[in-house]
Amino acid sequence: MHPGREANGTGVPIERADVPEFAGYDDPHVTGQARTRPGDGARSGERAGALSHLGGTRRPDVRGHGGSAHAFAGAAPAMLSVADILRSKGVTATFFDTGAHDSANPDVVRQVASMGFLIANHTWDHDYPDQTSSGWTVEYLRDQMARTSALQQRLTGRPVCFFRPPGGNLTNVLTAASAEGMSTVLWSVDARDWAQPGQNDPESVAKIVERATSLDSEDDQNPIVLMHVAKASHEPEAQVSSFRGNTIAALPQIIDWYADHGYRFVDLLGHDASPTPLQ
């Protein structure tokens, strides 16, 4: 998104939404970069499911480059709390939701979309390849994507342009997403808030803030920070908690950090926080 080199909402830095870039993969349909490559490491960093992206772009006069983004799991009670925080801070976001969450929470999705936030696709079931009978075939993925996009478009009145694969796994994803008319989005900074305990914990909040604001030179220009407002994966609650109180507590601090470092927040389409009423 030149000029200005804008990043998309909560989660991953992008330079252009129409021709996104992915470090390490020479494919025009992938946006962002995963700090861990798809596989066990990426999967374990992404247990909490559907996301939202908050995008940022550094003002050119700060260091002459870059933007920041954040990712949140969507379509759960915490989704509204996160949306309210973003709105109060003048920050926009892209929420990557599963179809299952949106089907169970249609009013929440409509309300968040009416606040001007972008809703995007994160499969219907959030099953990893080894959790399906035949793996991630193109046919399986297209069905997951198509059902989710159709529901999201009915709820928001807007086309769905972006897909984020569970765990960052790319098996057949580019082929399927392209066939469904979507760009694939990953992340560059992982807050790992999916690993928080099932209760408010100041130490957990501090760790989430630290991880979400820890940038290396590769992330510096257009970071996409992965965070979660819901749990879409299927581990037992004792193993991966659905509690998101520590994410909500950490978010204002994370937004302030990026703002203090000169970032401007946009969604994946390059839009800032100007609200767009749902028609």
User: How many domains are there within the chain?
Assistant: 1
Residue-wise pLDDT tens digits, 94-146 = 899 999 999 999 999 999 999 999 999 999 999 999 999 999 999 999 999 99
Domain that holds residue 111: 30-264
Inside any domain, residue 170: yes
Mean pLDDT for 165-171 is 96
Tell me the CA distances in angstroms from 113 to 26, 95, 161, 212, 275, one per residue in order: 32, 9, 14, 25, 9
SS3 195: helix
Q: Specify the CATH number for the domain of residue 46.
A: 3.20.20.370
- Measure the CA–CA gap between 219 and 234, rounded to whole angstroms: 30
Is there a domain that residue 11 lies in?
no
Most confident of the ranges 9-13, 18-22, 95-99 = 95-99
Residue 274 covered by a domain: no
Task: Please check whether residue 24 lies inside any domain of the structure.
Answer: no
Asked, for residue 227, whether it belongs to a domain, the answer is: yes
Whole-number Å distance between alpha carbons of 60 and 83: 27
Give residues with Cβ within 8 angstroms of 27, minimum separation 6: 174
In a domain, 48, yes or no: yes
3-state class (DSSP) for residue 94? strand
Answer whether residue 275 is part of any domain: no
Q: Which of 58, 59, 56 is nearest to 71 (CA)?
A: 56
pLDDT digits (tens, 9 = 90+) for 23-76: 222 333 455 544 333 333 333 333 222 233 444 444 322 222 344 555 565 556
Whether 123 maps to a domain, the answer reads yes
